[in-house]
Structure 1
Amino acid sequence: MNNEINQNNDLDAYRAGQLSQQYANANLPFVVVPGEGKVHTFPETLDRPLQLQQTVSLHTAKDFIGYVNRFADKNSVIFVNVLGGKIQAVLDYHEASPVEEYGSNAKQRHCLHKAIFNVEQTPEFKKIRDKSGESMSQSDFALFLEDVMPYINQPAAAELYEIVSTLSAKTSVDFKSGIRTDNGQVSITYNENIDANAGREGKLNIPEQIVFGIQVHRGGSHYALPARFRYRIKDGNLRMYYDLDQLEKAIEKSMEDTVTYIREGKVIDNGDGTETNLSGVHSDVTILEGSVN
């Protein structure tokens, strides 16, 4: 009785193996283990795999476009996660065509050939982003401003250098109060102790707003990123920080420009009076805002 059951299982397994070859439209080697009723296939013996399974990570938009254009067809889809900074192409995406036997408007495919482009934020942008809202002593704030001075559009470099110099020099003073003036600055009053019996009052003027001119994503354009200057005075000590305005909008705008480049291509100035045209992806590749596993 058991032998008969095993023979039936082996026969069913053999038929399943034959069927797998039929659906694969290829001669896929397989064996049926007697008594187990299991089919063991050997796809690694084929000259080419039956299905393409590959995930590639690209580091630049140009290379992402080049890879997609090499392998894409009219059913390929690119998914864009704007705030997540991730762009993913599924090159063997489902075919949008009616299939009567399934009663469906999509002919399914494996969706196993993918190209991923993680749009990386620049180190200088991450530094400015991460310091937003962080309270610093005046000396630390001076060091920070000096470090990011190349990325500050407003105030002008000469004015910014004077602020940094004043913050670095006035470390042994008692700060009293601060007011916002009509010319868009913050005027902070301090008392500098000259000796035991005398003192000298001074003022530290700092712009109410700092504007960073910065590249948000690697290879992208530069954007104006405004930040509001903040301060706190407690027991004569000054704490300073800034709050970035419209941070998410800057990230979103930079990503939108990257997606526009991927979709339409762009023209770059070579700096010598000539231009270079960079192509985008094929026009029949669909680009959607979203994500896919």
Structure 2
Amino acid sequence: MNNSELNNQVGTVMHKDAFVIGQTSLQAAGDVLPFVVTPEGGSVHTFEETLERPLQLKQATILHTAKDLIAYVTRFADSDSMVFVDVLGGKIQAVLDFHQAEKVAGYGANAYQRHCKHTAHFIVSKTPEFEKVVANSGRKMSQMDFALFLEDVMPYVNQPAAAELYEIVNTLQAKTNIDFKSGTRTDNGQVSLTYNENIEASAGRQGNLNIPEQIVFGIQVHRGGEHYALPARFRYRIKDGNIALWYDLDQLEKAIEKSMEDTVTYIREGKTVFNNDDTETALPGVPSFVTILEGSVNI
């Protein structure tokens, strides 16, 4: 028997032995995870689905309100759980199995690593009314379009008063056949627009339309959040008897930041809400042992 034949015979025997072992032996990695090694290619097949519980927790949950995020974190958090807040991005991310902050012998570090695979995400979405007000800021509108816009957002306007705003809307809608001549700012903080009303078979009639220099929206920035005063400066431009009307929001970023800060304060400390029957309800925040940081983490 030459060397080639001998090698083939040995290989056949080893293959048969490996096949028998693979078919008859169910082993366990660390006495926890069952597996079988098959002879062809030496593949390892695990049977994690047969375990009573998975070896590692992998769960990414998306919550839609701060209240639900608090409830989820409260249920699963431990003393090493972390919450990361992106204020301007409106994103909050909780990592419930974050690294343990403790001395590790032989590592020379203060972090005992964990998988960081159990997360909860909350995107603090802006309200439709807030997005509408923001989207129209700086958009030059015709007389009628501006009237329709004011009529649409009237429930969200704190200043001027509803009656005054309603009168402005009615005047803009009724006086359509007019030529605007000029605009002046008065001592009481209003803009007085002078116009000539075109009346058939007559010389016309002069009038004035007073619009406040500033509009203040009282609006909920984020869903489930508080209402905030959002000032806007009134603007106009007159050309060839036609007028363009618009507003420019002021301190927009501050309103967004303040709303997010209040949301984070609620998550950290809880808050008290007032019910329709004049009673109060205390809503808890996350457990005090959960660390909250401004930032983000890539996992």
TM norm structure 2: 0.88
Cα deviation per residue 1:49-102 (whole Å; 9 max; x = unaligned)?
001111111111111111100000000000111111111100000111122333
Cα deviation per residue 1:194-216 (whole Å; 9 max; x = unaligned)?
13551222111100000011111
Task: Find the aligned partners of 1:272 and 1:248 in 2 and give their Cα distance.
Answer: 35
1:132 to 128, 133, 137: 137
Secondary structure of the 1:136 match is coil
Amino acid at match of 1:186: V
Amino acid at match of 1:219: G
Gap runs ≥5 in structure 1: none
Task: Find the aligned partners of 1:274 and 1:173 in 2 and give their Cα distance.
Answer: 54
* Aligned pairs for 1:87-106 within 5 A: 87-106=92-111
1:36 deviates by 1.8
1:157 equivalent in alignment to 2:165 = no
1:166 to 159, 168, 171: 171
1:181 deviates by 1.6
Partner of residue 292, structure 1: 297
1:32 equivalent in alignment to 2:37 = yes
Partner of residue 72, structure 1: 77
Task: Find the aligned partners of 2:272 and 2:202 in 1 and give their Cα distance.
Answer: 68
Task: Find the aligned partners of 1:229 and 1:66 in 2 and give their Cα distance.
Answer: 43
Aligned length: 281
Q: Could you list the structure 1 runs, at least 4 aligned residues long, displaced by more than 6 angstroms after superposition.
A: none
* Aligned pairs for 1:27-66 within 5 A: 27-66=32-71
Do the aligned residues in 1 keep the contact of 2:28 with 2:35 (CA within 8 Å)?
no
Do the aligned residues in 1 keep the contact of 2:27 with 2:35 (CA within 8 Å)?
no
Amino acid at match of 1:77: M
1:19 deviates by 11
Gap runs ≥5 in structure 2: 1-6
1:86 equivalent in alignment to 2:77 = no
Partner of residue 29, structure 2: 21
Task: Find the aligned partners of 2:27 and 2:230 in 1 and give their Cα distance.
Answer: 62
1:232 deviates by 1.4
Partner of residue 115, structure 1: 120
TM norm structure 1: 0.90
Task: Find the aligned partners of 1:277 and 1:249 in 2 and give their Cα distance.
Answer: 27
* Aligned pairs for 1:3-18 within 5 A: none
Partner of residue 207, structure 1: 212
Task: Find the aligned partners of 1:273 and 1:196 in 2 and give their Cα distance.
Answer: 62
1:104 deviates by 2.1
Task: Find the aligned partners of 1:65 and 1:19 in 2 and give their Cα distance.
Answer: 42
1:176 equivalent in alignment to 2:184 = no
Task: Find the aligned partners of 2:163 and 2:48 in 1 and give their Cα distance.
Answer: 69
1:272 deviates by 2.3
Partner of residue 273, structure 2: 268
1:283 equivalent in alignment to 2:288 = yes
Task: Find the aligned partners of 1:89 and 1:190 in 2 and give their Cα distance.
Answer: 59
Partner of residue 4, structure 2: none
1:190 deviates by 1.2
Cα deviation per residue 1:220-256 (whole Å; 9 max; x = unaligned)?
1111110000111122111111111111111110111
Cα deviation per residue 1:86-121 (whole Å; 9 max; x = unaligned)?
111000001111223333221111111111111121
Cα deviation per residue 1:113-142 (whole Å; 9 max; x = unaligned)?
111111121111111111111111111110
Pair 1:27–1:155, CA change in 2 (3 A): same
Secondary structure of the 2:110 match is coil
Task: Find the aligned partners of 2:193 and 2:29 in 1 and give their Cα distance.
Answer: 82
Amino acid at match of 1:210: I
1:242 equivalent in alignment to 2:235 = no
Task: Find the aligned partners of 2:28 and 2:145 in 1 and give their Cα distance.
Answer: 68
Task: Find the aligned partners of 1:272 and 1:170 in 2 and give their Cα distance.
Answer: 45
Structure with higher Rg: it is 2
Task: Find the aligned partners of 2:37 and 2:93 in 1 and give their Cα distance.
Answer: 40
Amino acid at match of 1:266: K
Task: Find the aligned partners of 1:173 and 1:271 in 2 and give their Cα distance.
Answer: 48
